[in-house]
Structure 1
Amino acid sequence: MDFDFSDDQQQLRDAVARWVEKGYSFERRQSIASQGGFSREVWNELAELGLTALTVPEAYDGLGQGAVDVMVVMEELGRGLVMEPLAQAFAASAVLTQFGSDAVKQAWLPQIASGEKLVVLASQERKARYRLDVCDAKASKSGDEYSLSATKNIVPAGDQADSFIVPAQLDGKLALFLVEKSAPGVSTRGYATQDEGRAADLICHAVPATLITSNGLPALTLAQDIVNAALCAEGVGVMEQTLKLTTEYMNQRKQFGVAIASFQALRHRVADMKMQLELARSMSYYASLKLGAPAEERHTAVARAKVQLGQSMRFVGQQSVQLHGGIGVTDEYVGSHYFKRLTQMEMTGGDTLHHLGTVSAHMQDSAGVFA
């Protein structure tokens, strides 16, 4: 299989990398973090780069690109610890494209592509423990209109978003709705996350809603798989930069008159970090390439990738702190922020144990047995 990137994909990578280097410095990130963890100005810059339009079909003012292009972008954003939830734009555009009516597509896809509207998933409830089929939210229909009541937790940039994709029970079956933040009965409670990003609880009381699809679980699963595949790619970028920071520090830090990078035992630990990074990279590729597969195959592939990424992110983050010593957890040092991001990513979109359960449930009876 050819894993070389096309010239267009390489140019896309270079463009995003240049923006991260010149436009998203650590100092700017910390300034955004101190102001709440989300910047509409940065979101507009991502839109100007064409990233919010990346997966929107060309018929709706998008670029019509695929999963590999998303992977390339997310790796570079990971290297810069960019906090704005770009993966949500990819998930929203996919759900609306594949499941929305023509009217919904015409109304929302061009606005997502331009960056004018930030649409995010609001799928998790407190007791769900990452399961998408656990949903207490209720929707009802009156004539041609729908209303919805729900409480959703840990919604990415929820108090800054313009609209939400919300699952709710409709006539005993999970359906998917679009809810505007400006609708009467909508309130949000925002807070900073452990990695200095932004999330919120979403509370809806008899809120007017637009039906996306009455068969909500397949659409919601697709959205979460896209977010998790993007998270895997972002994790590769975060780990790559973490490894780079660690090796640079080891070449500068001296003990007994020599750089600690010369100590064989520490070099072995760095080699283990590199191995975990490459295992994660291969599974990130696997997840992205499987996004176009049938639903069950896609979901299992993303779960497998998330298991490996979870293990790799925990290992690389913890080893980096150990090799740095005390400075590795000080707020003034950039490496500590990579560690915090890796720690949170392992638990985002389903932690390692959750996805290990998914992988286990989809194993065949003959798994591991060679006749």
Structure 2
Amino acid sequence: MDFDFSDEQEQLREAVRRWAARAHGFERHRAIVRDEGGDSAAVWAELAGLGLTALAVPEAHGGLGFGPVEAMVVMEELGRGRVGAPYAAAALVAPVLLSGAPEALQAAWLPRIAAGDARVVLAHQESGARYRLDRVETRLAAADGGWRLSGRKSLVPVGDRAEALVVSARDDDGRLVLALVERDAPGVTARGHLLHDGTRAAELTWQDTPAQRLSAAGADALPALEHAADVAIAALCAEAVGLMDFLVALTADYLKTRRQFGVPIASFQALRHRLADCKMELELARSMSYLATLRLADAPEVRRRAVAQAKVQLGRSMRFVGQQCVQMHGGIGVTDDYVGAHAFKRLTCMELQWGDTLHHLGEVGARMQDTAGVFA
């Protein structure tokens, strides 16, 4: 079996890497956090100009119709370039959620997503849910021949700036459903804020807000929601691999230039061993990221187990690589003026997103069979 990337995938990687190196340096990242609240319309327009917003949208709706491997390649390079745009949420997860929507809604929103004119993001996190997708108290009630949404969601990526949101809710029969609501609809209250890593999220409240139901009557939306979550986790894993790759390379360069006792500290055996351990953790994370991506097209049980296994390994690797690289840098590794500190903060936040390591360890344990999946 050939695991090499195709020429087209390598060209895609190179295009994203060149753009990030040229147009999204450290100073621009700090300016976006400081002056634009962690979300830049100009960066999104540049991503659209590269065609990246059309990556996962079907060709029938004006997209490129690429698959999970191409998405992984893009996410690795966005991670390497420390691009904090909500690309996975708005360009990879949204098309998955809309793929089961009525044709009229797909025709209304997917071309706009592909063109970069609209961002549609998932709002699923509720207080007390503790990463459980099925713990939902938000309500979608039938009213006046339509639907009304009431409830609250937390930590929604750019939730106060996205043009629309896909919201998980319970209908009148208690079924889990998905609904699409526009950000400027009546009854919407949004409070945007920065996260610790400089990305933007929002707390959202709806009160009898007009919405459109995505789920078919009588259908349970949990499988669709789990699929979207797995796509998001695979993308997060790929982004983390790119970011760790950058941080390990940055640390190696620092060890070569920092001198102590008249010699570069890269000559100290203890530090060389620690950097080698970081490289080992990085490669373990890379292999599990590949596994998660390649399993996205498999049956739900196989896919969910592989994604949970990947998130466990990535959680451990992110914590180890981030902490070790900061320690090898010394005090400069935690200063706001140094790019390594921002990479460390991003890795720390990513470990907690879409379920922390302990949560996914529980998911892996719940899915273990006699073979523990090793020979499956």
Give the alignment of 1:128-207 within 5 angstroms: 128-142=129-143, 144-170=145-171, 171-207=173-209
Deviation at 1:55, TM superposition (A): 0.7
Q: Which residue of 2 aligns with 1:248?
A: 253
Report the equivalent of 2:230.
225
Distance 1:84 1:160 in 2: 12
- List aligned pairs for 1:205-354, cutoff 5 A: 205-213=207-215, 214-354=219-359
Task: Tell me: CA distance 1:66–1:316, structure 2 relative to 1, closer, same or farther (3 Å).
Answer: same
Structure 2 CA distance, aligned partners of 1:349 and 1:241?
A: 23
Per the TM alignment, residue 73 of structure 1 is displaced from its structure 2 partner at its CA by 0.2
| Partners of 1:78 and 1:234 within 8 A in 2 | yes
Runs of 4+ residues over 3 Å off in structure 1? 365-370
Give secondary structure in 2 for the equivalent of 1:141: strand
Deviation of the 1:366 alpha carbon: 5.1
Q: Is the 8 A contact 1:176 1:215 kept in 2?
A: no
In 1, the alpha carbon distance for the partners of 2:279 and 2:25 equals 25
Q: Which residue pairs with 1:92 in the alignment?
A: 94
Using the TM superposition, name which of 352-361 and 212-221 deviates more.
212-221
Aligned-residue Cα RMSD (Å) equals 1.2
Q: Could you tell me how far 1:299 is from its partner in structure 2?
A: 1.2
Equivalent AA in structure 2 for residue 64 of structure 1:
G
Equivalent in the alignment of 2:17: 17
Q: 1:227 Cα deviation (Å)?
A: 0.7
With over 3 angstroms needed to count, the CA separation of the structure-2 counterparts of 1:230 and 1:369, relative to structure 1, is closer
Q: Aligned partner of 1:264: which letter?
A: Q
Equivalent pair of 2:78/2:242 in contact (CA under 8 Å): yes
Counterpart in the other structure of 1:79: 80
Report the counterpart of residue 40 of structure 1 in structure 2: 41
Structure 2 runs not aligned, ≥5 long: none
- Equivalent in the alignment of 1:361: 366
Hey, what's the Cα distance between the residues in 2 that align with 1:221 and 1:257?
A: 55
**Cα displacement string for residues 19-45 of structure 1 (whole angstroms, at most 9, x for unaligned residues):** 001110111110000021000111111
When structure 1 is superposed on structure 2, of 301-310 and 210-219 the one drifting more is: 210-219
Give me the whole-angstrom Cα distance separating, in 2, the residues matched to 1:130 and 1:157: 19
Cα distance in 1 for partners of 2:128, 2:26 equals 36
Aligned-partner SS, 1:52: helix
| % identity of equivalent residues | 58
**TM-superposed deviation, 1:160:** 1.3
After TM superposition, the score normalised by the length of structure 2 is: 0.96
CA contact (8 A) 1:192 1:199 kept: yes
Aligned length: 369
Q: Which amino acid aligns with 2:199?
A: G
Unaligned runs of 5+ in 1: none
Structure 1 residues 163 and 317: alpha-carbon distance in aligned structure 2, compared to 1, 3 A threshold:
same
CA–CA distance in structure 1, aligned partners of residues 190 and 361 of structure 2: 32
Give the TM-score normalised by structure 1: 0.98
| Partner of residue 3, structure 1 | 3
